[in-house]
A and B are shown apart, each in its own frame.
Chain A
């Protein structure tokens, strides 16, 4: 098992290498000249002279691979260059906002797990009952609602009408409730369905019937066989949900004015602030890859059918 984990950890290095190369190359392939973007962000008129000075300053006159090598050398030491907009260290800027984004994402992930798995199991166990129908209705609503609109509805009901939750700011726990509900709705709905379907599949499996015939206690069957087996696809899907959540966090942060990367990144996108965009991509993808690795390890741990040596 440890060997497997080390192997997977080492594999992250070439993957991140590829990610960094693609991020760097694709940005350069884009229609916007970084030197021009730099000047526009500095409010300097982009004359020919200013452009050539900036190109030399940013190292854009060097051959492409030299540029990449230089950037990568800095990136490995967490130096992603200065933001064109703020003229501050891009990595430092992002790290100021990043903890809030991670917190929102992980809290939403926890809510997704706490809500969807029991609901999915309940729906499967009490199939076609009123509870099951309500759960199905909830997941139907959840997958079709635009999250930012749902957030506005929450603000309207809980802030403007009932006046029990603050609309923005980060003073206490109550500030986190609406952002996390907004972010978690869609994934909870999807995951409820996945759990329900998977649980149903395993309840109706022949092996369960065989265990019943052999007089194994129902609670043992449910806990040891059905639950454990039916959780495997759910755990795999959590990796996908994490990707959705960390992306959705950007929207939720803008909506609830949370001090996460959201607003900063949106303005860096509209202003072509390349150092920030590069650093943002590396950070987000890095977190996504690590979380998926952890999920894979849990999966392998729970599923003895997979030989992790191979």
Chain B
């Protein structure tokens, strides 16, 4: 890894993950500890970022908020990959009627505008973070399933897969050992590029009051909480927003770098042949 930018990006990502993992050790206060007498405290050495409208320590809430953001985004992407890998690889590998039916189902999901469909699923499932995660996953998997299918179709015809078949490898072994690595490497890059976008969707739904509910320490909720006090205390809104921005930007940049590296590797391999 010679790329300096990538090292910096991964360091920031590591910092975000570490603060999520060790939130109780980093945060000086409980994110839910209310102290009305000390509301809107200015920045001091005891409260690095001051306190909010209920006297809760903003820095502690920011740190705990990292947890919510990472957990929700990882759960979402896990579900998206799970659905799309299963559906996409079955469709690509089996082909025929199976393939047509699965692809028509994907088409149906792509007929709806994403965010509107997410609203609909929340209408069906009810309000809450878990349902938001399911809703975002349900609205994104179809794109991935299509991509997985096309990569499977492409790889299936490669000589080394035919060779493995001739040598008597079982179907499952071919899928897991020869096709999946190829699929995963491309899909994970795409997913990294999309992580930030999905995170913004989750935040948007939280803003509408359909996702994470107050008093949970979550960045979207913190922005909402700070909204009525925007005139006197705009900084309360600034901190969580910047956190969302940085996290999304880091995911986006890492995704782009990985894609560039992958494409360059692909290009050089092709020119060698």
Q: Could you tell me which A residues sit within 8 Å of B by CB distance?
A: 15, 18-19, 22-23, 26-27, 29-32, 140, 143-149, 152-153, 155-156, 160, 186, 242-244, 246-248, 250-251, 254-255, 265-266, 268-270, 272, 277, 280-281, 284-285, 288-289
- How far in angstroms is the closest Cβ of chain A from B241? 4
* A143 vs B210: C-alpha distance when bound (angstroms): 23
* A251 vs B115: C-alpha distance when bound (angstroms): 10
Which residues in A have their C-beta under 8 angstroms from that of B122? 269
Tell me which of B121, B237, B252 contacts A152 (CB under 8 A).
B237
List 20 contacting pairs A-B, 8 Å CB cutoff, sorted by A.
Answer: A15-B111, A19-B108, A26-B124, A30-B124, A32-B124, A140-B252, A143-B196, A143-B197, A144-B245, A160-B231, A246-B115, A247-B114, A248-B204, A250-B208, A269-B122, A269-B210, A270-B210, A272-B123, A281-B116, A285-B116
Chain B positions 119 through 139: 1 when the CB is less than 8 Å from some CB of chain A, otherwise 0: 111111111000000000000
Classify chain B: how many residues form its interface, as a range.
35 or more
Tell me the nearest residue of chain A to B253, going by C-beta: A140
Tell me whether B241 and A265 are in contact (CB under 8 A).
no
Main secondary structure of the interface of B (DSSP, over half): helix
Which residues in A have their C-beta under 8 angstroms from that of B210? 266, 269-270
Known contacts A22-B108, A250-B119, A156 near B230 by CB under 8 Å: yes
Sort A-B residue pairs by CB-CB distance and give the 4 closest, nearest first.
Answer: A247-B115, A243-B113, A30-B124, A144-B249
Q: Is B10's beta carbon under 8 Å from chain A?
A: no
- How far in angstroms is the closest Cβ of chain B from A283? 10
Tell me the nearest residue of chain A to B249, going by C-beta: A144
Enumerate B238-265 residues with CB–CB distance to A below 8 Å.
Answer: 241, 244-245, 248-249, 252-253
* A266 vs B210: C-alpha distance when bound (angstroms): 8
Q: Is B103's beta carbon under 8 Å from chain A?
A: no
Known contacts A160-B230, A244-B113, A247-B114, A265 near B124 by CB under 8 Å: no
Which residues in B have their C-beta under 8 angstroms from that of A149? 203, 223, 237, 241, 244-245
Known contacts A248-B204, A254-B208, A29 near B241 by CB under 8 Å: no
Tell me the nearest residue of chain A to B118, going by C-beta: A247
Which residues in B have their C-beta under 8 angstroms from that of A19? 108, 111-112
- How far in angstroms is the closest Cβ of chain A from B81? 21
Given A143-B252, A246-B115, 7 more pairs with CB closer than 8 A: A19-B111, A22-B108, A27-B123, A140-B253, A144-B248, A250-B115, A250-B116
Q: Could you tell me which B residues sit within 8 Å of A by CB distance?
A: 108, 111-116, 118-127, 196-197, 200, 203-204, 207-210, 220, 223, 227, 230-231, 234, 237, 241, 244-245, 248-249, 252-253
- How far in angstroms is the closest Cβ of chain B from A284? 5
* A156 vs B223: C-alpha distance when bound (angstroms): 13
Known contacts A146-B245, A251-B204, A266-B209, A29 near B120 by CB under 8 Å: no
Tell me the nearest residue of chain B to A145, going by C-beta: B245
Tell me which of A26, A30, A146, A186 contacts B244 (CB under 8 A).
A146
Tell me the nearest residue of chain A to B240, going by C-beta: A149
Tell me whether B127 and A270 are in contact (CB under 8 A).
yes
Tell me which of B113, B114, B120, B249 contacts A277 (CB under 8 A).
B120
* A250 vs B208: C-alpha distance when bound (angstroms): 9
Tell me whether B125 and A31 are in contact (CB under 8 A).
yes
Tell me the nearest residue of chain A to B227, going by C-beta: A152
